[in-house]
Amino acid sequence: MSCSRRKFIASGCALVLGTGLANIPLVQSMTINGKRYAMLHDESKCIGCTACMDACRETNLVPEGVSRLEIIRSEPQGEYPDANYSFFRKSCQHCDNPPCVEVCPSGASFRDEETGIVDVNPDKCVGCQYCVAACPYQVRFIHPEKNTPDKCNFCRDTNLAQGKLPACVSACPTQALIFGDANDPASAISQQIATKPTYRNKVPLGTDPQLFRIADRNGDLPS
């Protein structure tokens, strides 16, 4: 299985983490064949308008009632007129070591080695929902029409296939979303990651998520 090498590297990293060298930049150590698409959500620029959500729904024909992408708004911090909000993007993190892929019994959930994108192949899926339960970010849902698990796939079959940026990225009025190849040091996302302090969600679980975030000034993260 092609994932064994990745697993090996991942467990190596986990070992390193476990021995206390927690600050090793995992990001740069994980080079897979070809591109590794990643996304950055700059929470300090996000205004919580949810234009990204609408655009995703429209582009990827996501039915009402479920969503591939949610912007979670924090409780107000402070009193009117000096109150602030934080925004948190909930969507697939395209983990380098994805639990959803690991548990899938039929290999329907897979990580595309060319791009690093995690996607679902409905033709292999049986609908056991193991992946839905296994995703620690809880971003998977059962598509009400297809009856198979669905989630963000970086618009792999829609905008990306047409050579366009993911729908959410181009819809964002404040350029709070940056998409690109994290393996290419010249890409906008690599530049941002290299020069700005970013964080990722639930890193200790060893999933190695590829959704990077720039914390807003309020510094309050939803759990």
Partner 1 sequence: MNGSTLAKHSSRAPISLPILVTPGLTDACKRVKKDYGHDEQKGYSMKGLVRIGWLALIVFSLSSGTAHAANPNKDVTNPEACQSCHRGDSAHPMLGLHGGDRYGPTNQAASCADCHGVGESGSLHEAEQTDIVRFTHMSETNNLSTPLAQQNQACLSCHLGTELRTAHWTHDPHANTLTCASCHQLHPSNDPMRGLAKQTQTKQCVDCHSTLPNDIDIFNYSSSGGSP
Partner 2 sequence: MSTGIFDSVQHAFHFDSLVWHGPIALYLFLLGLSAGAAMLAVVLKRWILPRNNETLNNRASENGLIRATAIIAPASILLSLVILIQHLTMPLTFWRLIIYYNFTSVMSIGVMLLQLYSVVLALWMALLFRHELDQLIDRWMPGRIKNIYPRVMQSVAKFENTLEWLLLGIAISLGAYTGFLLAELKTYPLLNNPILPLLFFFSGLSSGVAGVMLLGVTVFKARLDAASTHWLHKLERPVILCEALALAALFSLLFYIGGRSEVAALAAIGGGFWSGVFWLGIVGLGLLTPLMLQTFTPAEARQRVSFVVLLTSCSLSGVLMLRYFILYAGQMTVY
Least distance in angstroms from the C-beta of 190 to ligand SF4? 18
Contacts 24+ apart (CB under 8 A), 73-81: 73/48, 74/218, 74/220, 74/222, 77/218, 77/220
For residue 59, state whether it binds partner 1 (rule: CB under 8 A): no
7 touches partner 2 (CB under 8 A): yes
- Could you say which of 17, 51, 142, 165 contacts partner 2 (CB under 8 A)? 142
From the list 20-28, 41-49, 180-188, 212-220, the region that binds ligand SF4 by CB under 6 A is 41-49
Among 173, 184, 185, 202, contact with partner 1 (rule: CB under 8 A)? 173
82 binds partner 1 (CB under 8 A): yes
Minimum Å distance from CB 107 to ligand SF4? 14
Residue 134 CB contacts under 8 Å (≥ 6 apart), including other chains = 99, 100, 102, 103
The CA–CA distances, whole Å, from 33 to 12, 15, 112, 170, 176 equal 19, 23, 10, 27, 28
108 binds ligand SF4 (CB under 6 A): no
Instruction: Tell me the closest approach of the beta carbon of residue 56 to partner 1, in angstroms.
Output: 12
Q: Which is nearer to partner 1, 75 or 123 (CB)?
A: 75
Q: What is the dihedral of CA 26, 30, 35, 39, to 10 degrees?
A: -20
Cis peptide before 173 (omega within 30 of 0): no
Applying CB under 8 A, the span of 40-48, 102-110, 182-190, 207-215 interacting with partner 1 comes to: 40-48
Helix ranges (DSSP H) in 31-174: 51-59, 99-103, 130-134, 167-171
**Among the listed residues 142, 180, 172, 10, the one whose alpha carbon sits nearest the alpha carbon of residue 63:** 142
One residue of 207, 212, 213, 216 binding ligand SF4 per CB under 6 A: 207
Residues of this chain that bind partner 2 (CB under 8 A)? 1, 3, 7, 99, 101-108, 124-130, 132-136, 138, 142, 147-148, 202, 205, 207
